[in-house]
Structure 1
Amino acid sequence: MALLDHENLDVYHRSIEFLTLALRLVTYLPRGERELREQLKRAAISVPLNIAEGSGKPPKADRARFYAIARGSAMECGALMDVCRVAGFLPPAEAEDAKTFAGSNRRYAHENVPRVSIRRHGRARARRTSTEDGRGETEDGERASQRAPP
């Protein structure tokens, strides 16, 4: 069976390992902490899903946006581990191990996932060149007047 694009990425497999750990850790949370449990599950699930979705996007800017979301979700997981530790819901060693794994996963993603330059609102930067009529066009030859407004 052929692998999908995201299944070739080591960072995807590491994010699945972290998800497995996070789903095990939510069992430590008391029943009254449903919101915290759900937030941790959502953030941990978001990491591999955004890596997978980003790997399927042809435009670099789209890929970069999804990978950035995955990195942000990994950071959120680390913060949630701090909250759980401070509240006494997780054994300190378990919380610290999970936080370290989430941080290393974020760093791994930062170093090993392709990146492109992004400006506000997730649009890729395109260097402008001038044309004879002075209207300008992007590097890929698209006229400035044909682009969607920022």
Structure 2
Amino acid sequence: MALKIYGVTIELLRGLRPIIEKIGGKDANLADQLRRAATSVPLNLNEGAYSQGRNERARWHTAMGSAAEVRACLDVAEALGYVDAVDDGLRDSLDHVIATLHRLTRR
């Protein structure tokens, strides 16, 4: 079952790419953590879409946790001055992904 939110997660990755690169110039570990969390979202989302039963929900929970981790990484990067305020549109997309995943895990 293909999910429309998958495309949103890919666009989110495109939007995060320059931020990850900028953070990488100041803190390679945080940039790597952000990159791993961000790539985990569409990978687990899509894996869940083609799974069944508990595996389906487990993958969506993992994707949701990774999306929340992306948000935390962005907050940390802002707090440490590695990046200026993250674009509101990017944060809105991230919140949309998290909300959608939350609904999927409750089905």
TM bracket (short chain): 0.7 to 0.9
SS in structure 1 of the partner of residue 42 of structure 2: helix
The 1:32/1:89 distance shift into structure 2, 3 A limit, reads: closer
1:64 pairs, out of 57, 76, 98, with: 57
Aligned residue number for residue 55 of structure 1: 49
Identical pairs, percent: 27
Q: Does the 8 Å CA contact 2:24/2:30 hold for their aligned counterparts?
A: no
Which of these two proteins has the greater Rg computed from alpha carbons?
1
Partner of 2:99: 107
**Structure 1: tracts of 5 or more residues without a match:** 117-150
Distance change in 2, residues 1:97/1:84 (3 Å): farther
Which portions of structure 1, spanning 4 or more consecutive aligned residues, are displaced by more than 4 angstroms?
Answer: none
Contact 1:81/1:99 (<8 A) preserved:
no
Q: 1:28 to 1:97 in 2, by over 3 A?
A: farther
Closer, same or farther in 2 for the Cα pair 1:25/1:95, shift >3 Å?
same
Q: 1:98-133: per-residue Cα shift (whole Å, max 9, x none)?
A: 33332221012223x3645xxxxxxxxxxxxxxxxx
Aligned length: 107
1:17-65 per-residue CA deviation (whole Å, 9 max, x = no partner) reads 111111221122252411011000000000000011112213x111000
Residues of 2 paired with 1:115 and 1:18: CA distance? 23
Whichever structure has more helix as a proportion of its residues is 2
The alignment yields a C-alpha RMSD, in angstroms, of 1.8
Using structure 1 for the length normalisation, give the TM-score.
0.64
TM-score w.r.t. the length of structure 2 is 0.87
